[in-house]
Every structure is written in C-alpha cells, then in structure tokens.
Amino acid sequence: MAAVSTAGIPPNATVYVKNLDERIKVDQLKHALEEIFSEYGTILEVVAKTNLKAKGQAFIVFDNVDSATRAIEDINGFDLFEKPMVLDYAKTPSDATVQREGGSDELEAHKRRRLAEKERKQAHEALETQKKLKRPAAAVEPARPAKTTKGAGLKPTAAATTAVVPDEYLPPNKILFLRDLPDDASQEGLSAIFGRFEGFQEVRLVPGRKGIAFVEYEAEAGAISAKEATSGMPMGDQGKAIRVTYQRQ
C-alpha cells in the first residue's frame, strides 16, 4: 500500500526531503542521503542545491514508485545530522524521470512548463509587493468638516489604484517585447534570431520608433524558450545587451 502524502500529492518516484541541516556542505549531504536511500532501490539522482530558498531540502529520484513509497514509510522522521527528516512525494516529476519515461522532447516541454510556472509565480509576488507599497495610510479624521474642494468625490485614477507589475515579472504569453535593440536592427535579422524557436510567426517593428520590436509565437511555449535564450543577448557593433520581456496585456 502506498504511503499517504500529508499534502495530498499522488505517489511518484521522487521523494522530497526537508528539515535538513543547512550547515552541511552539499556534497557531504548528497553522499549521506545516497547511503541511506540506496537501501530502498536504484537511485537515478540526488538533487540538493546551495541557493537560499532550496537550503535544507533535497530530492531523491528512484527508478520506480514502490522504492519511493517504502523509503517514505521507513525513513520519515529518521535523524540525519541530529535533525529528523520530513519526507513526502515530490509535487512534480524530476527531470531524470521525465527524460527516462518520455524522452528528450518531453523533457524540454517539462522544463518550459516549469519555467512558465516560475515566471507566473514571480509576477504574482511582484504584484503583491506593489500592492503593499501602494497601500495608503489610514486617513486621519478631521476635527471639523472641511470645505469641499474642486474635484472632490471623483474616482481615483487607474494609476493611483492599480499596482503595476515590473516588466521583468510579467506572466508568460505568446508575444515578446524587445527593447534596447541597435538602431539598424532589421526585420530579417531579428527573424533569423527568433525564428529558431518553436511556433515562430512574425517580427513586428514599430514605425518611427527605433530600438523596439515585437515577436509573436503560436503559443507560450515558443515565447518562453526564446525569452530564456535571448534575454541579455549582445547585439550591434557595440554589443549592447537587449531586453526581452513578455508583452504587457
């Protein structure tokens, strides 16, 4: 019988481990985890990262679900470096699992979906931050009625009430907005660069405006791949980095 996930996650071949000692070096941590979990089956990969958000966490990728289930049942709460490990199934399949079961094409699609989800999350977090910064302080009750001033009672403008998400954190869509292009950037030259990505449709220059353009794809997937590959790319004689973001909708 499969272990029951505390978060309601369906059983899969990847074990998520948290509450690990953040002071332990990654190589030492991965070696210790491999020693413990290898008793339960063939391990395809142990993933542990050094960035701040990922510290104290790891993923153990088995070659089958049964091994992951038995590991969760037996090891959950087991002390490692004097801290009890907390185990569950991973929320999404690992790259190694996707590659093994679906091949290279499915792996690339999996990576694009993950990147899109990451960018949507960043956009949401940026919007929430902007809302907090724009939240007005509580109004002070006047001691006596004030005279009505011109314009009083009018609705606030959209700029005053709507939080603006920075361009870098806009959620993915199928149209890219290019900025800081060389003055001599051409439709043909940009098409040669951006036409390499799946679902490319067209490059649109803006009449009378140098340095900007739009690139449209059939779907988000192509735009995500193109943005990831070209953002910050040097162009022109001076090698100035171009800015690539999603079109604001």
Q: Give the pLDDT of residue 94.
A: 61
Residue with tokens 């940026």: 126
Digit-coded pLDDT (tens) for 212-249: 999 999 998 899 989 988 988 899 888 889 999 998 87
**Low-confidence residues of the chain: pLDDT under 50:** 139-140, 148-153, 158-161
Q: Are 12 and 97 in contact (CB under 8 A)?
A: yes
Which uninterrupted H or E stretch holds 33? helix 26-37
pLDDT on residue 53: 72
Tell me the C-alpha distance between 65 and 89, whole Å.
10
CA distance 236 to 122: 31
* pLDDT value for 248: 85
Q: Assign domain 166-246 to its CATH architecture.
A: 2-Layer Sandwich (3.30)
Q: Which CATH superfamily is domain 14-96 in?
A: RRM (RNA recognition motif) domain (3.30.70.330)
Q: Is residue 194 within 8 Å of 235, Cβ to Cβ?
A: no
Amino acid 160: pLDDT: 44
3-class secondary structure, 194: helix
Cα-Cα-Cα-Cα torsion 97, 102, 107, 110, nearest 10 degrees, comes to -90
pLDDT of 51 reads 74
For residue 215 the two structure tokens come to 């690139």
Cβ count near 61 (within 10 Å) = 24
Question: Distances in Å between the alpha carbon of 58 and those of 14, 49, 111, 208?
Answer: 10, 7, 19, 52
Residue whose pair of structure tokens reads 């999350």 in the numeric block: 121
Report the alpha-carbon distance of residue 205 to residue 214 in Å, rounded. 7
pLDDT at res. 99: 65
Alpha-carbon gap, residue 20 to 32, rounded angstroms: 11
157 C-beta neighbours (distance < 10 Å), count: 8
Q: End-to-end CA distance of the chain: give it in Å, rounded.
A: 48
Boundaries of CATH 3.30.70.330 in the chain?
A: 14-96, 166-246
**Three-state DSSP string of 46-105:** EECCCCHHHCCEEEEEECCHHHHHHHHHHHCCCEECCEECEEEECCCCCHHHHHHHHHHH
pLDDT score for 91: 84
Predicted pLDDT at 50: 76
CB-CB contact of 172 with 246 (8 Å): yes
The predicted pLDDT at position 126 comes to 65
CA angle 30, 31, 33 (to 5 degrees): 65
> How far, in Å, CA of 248 to CA of 165, rounded?
9
Provide the whole-model pTM: 0.46
